[in-house]
Amino acid sequence: MKISASFLLIFLTIGFSAVSAAQEMPLDHGDYVRDFNSGNDEGLVEKYFAEDTVMISGSGEFHGHAGMKEFLAWAHDGVREILRPVNIAYDDSNIFVEVDMDFVASKERPEFPFGHLQPGDIVSVKFLVHYIINEDGLIQELQTMSWEPEREVSKIPPLGEHPGQKAAFLVYTAAFSAGLAQQYSAYYTDDVVLELPSVDSISGKQAIVDFYTDMFVTVRESLEINTVIYDEHAIVGDFISVFTASADAPDFPVGPLRAGEQYRVPVLVYYTLENGLISHIRVARMGEAVLNRP
């Protein structure tokens, strides 16, 4: 179901006027958002939803814990969904929330309701969500309505320490590993600089894309994540860079490779952020490259 921004504005104004400043929310929505954004769907359903709960949305009706878990498993297959509440109104049994929802893709989802997603894509959608809360403080019924994707939504910088920004970094690495230049380069500033241990420094978004596009013809790099630390200025990661040859690459900088062979290289990567985009990438080896033969 689609609704207009003006309708929501009027609705929330009415809702706010009816709420006493001393009245407590029937469910701690802040805790709900925190747990929703953690990505633990089964735990979310068990903690916040009544056994006979009903969800009504543009995707259909879903009943009980089993129905909710089945829907969320489908909706979140390769997609992290991040809630960013904008406005909220409530009484003793209802919570109405205007929320901007970020859908962050780590795999291709051609059938996704808000458009064909590729790894690295982020689409934002504004929702009006109505929670009906029972006497036990659990969600008895959940109703959602939405706008068209990207209409009237707020935006946050792509990368940083917010749960959605952390999810975005993970899908950036997925897009890079898949060789999707349009998606992974969207996380770079135009003047981004890449410093690698085995080649000269590379400056500029297009130059980095060209470097990896040429390399991926014979050798594909994928990233395995061990540990990542985030803040608003930088992201630091302990990774394994996996270089897999699809054709003979006798001059590969890490070492010669035959088709099917693979180098695994432990690396520390320091990403400097500028307004939520990567402006500088510094890569340092953390150990010896290990050669795997098929």
Main-chain phi, psi angles of 31, to 5 degrees: -65, -40
Rounded to an integer, what distance in angstroms lies between the CA atom of residue 284 and that of residue 270? 9
What pLDDT score was predicted for residue 19? 46
Instruction: Give the rounded percent of residues in the chain with a pLDDT score beyond 70.
Output: 93
**Model confidence at 284: pLDDT above 50:** yes
> 13 falls in which pLDDT band (50, 70, 90)?
very low
Confidence of residue 151 (pLDDT cuts 50, 70, 90): very high
Q: Give the rounded distance of the alpha carbon of 211 from its chain centre.
A: 26
Average pLDDT, stretch 248-264? 96
Mean pLDDT computed over every residue of the chain: 92
Q: What pLDDT is attached to residue 3?
A: 42
Return the sign of the alpha-carbon dihedral for residues 229, 230, 235, 241. Answer: positive
pLDDT of 8 > 80? The answer is no
CA distances from 37 to 34, 64, 163 (A): 5, 21, 7
Structural domains in the chain, sorted by start: 5-146 (3.10.450.50), 163-292 (3.10.450.50)
Taking only the tens place, the pLDDT of each residue in 83-132 is 999 999 999 999 999 999 999 999 999 999 999 999 999 999 999 999 99
119 is written with which tokens?
């790894």
**Phi, psi (5° rounding) for residue 54?**
-135, 135
Rounded CA-CA distance 17/164 in Å is 31
Beta strands in the chain (DSSP E): 49-57, 60-63, 79-90, 94-105, 122-133, 139-146, 188-195, 202-203, 219-230, 234-245, 262-274, 277-285, 290-292
Q: Residue 156: exposed, middle, or buried by beta-carbon count in 10 A (0-12, 13-18, 19+)?
A: middle
Say if residues 238 and 224 touch (Cβ distance below 8 Å).
no
Whether 280 and 271 have beta carbons less than 8 Å apart is answered as yes
From first CA to last CA, the distance across the chain in angstroms is: 52
Percent helix, strand and coil across the chain, each to the nearest 5? 25, 40, 35
- Model pLDDT, residue 22: 52
Quote the tokens at residue 181: 């230049």
| Statement: residue 179 has pLDDT above 60 | yes
SS (H, E, C) 207-234: HHHHHHHHHCCCEEEEEEEEEEEECCCE
Average pLDDT over residues 8-28: 58
* pLDDT at position 198: 86
Amino acid (one-letter) located at 97: V
| 191-212: b (≥16 Cβ within 10 Å) or e | ebbbebeeeeebeebeebbeeb
Per-residue pLDDT, 294: 85
- Residue 134: both structure tokens together: 């029972």
pLDDT at 5 over 70: no
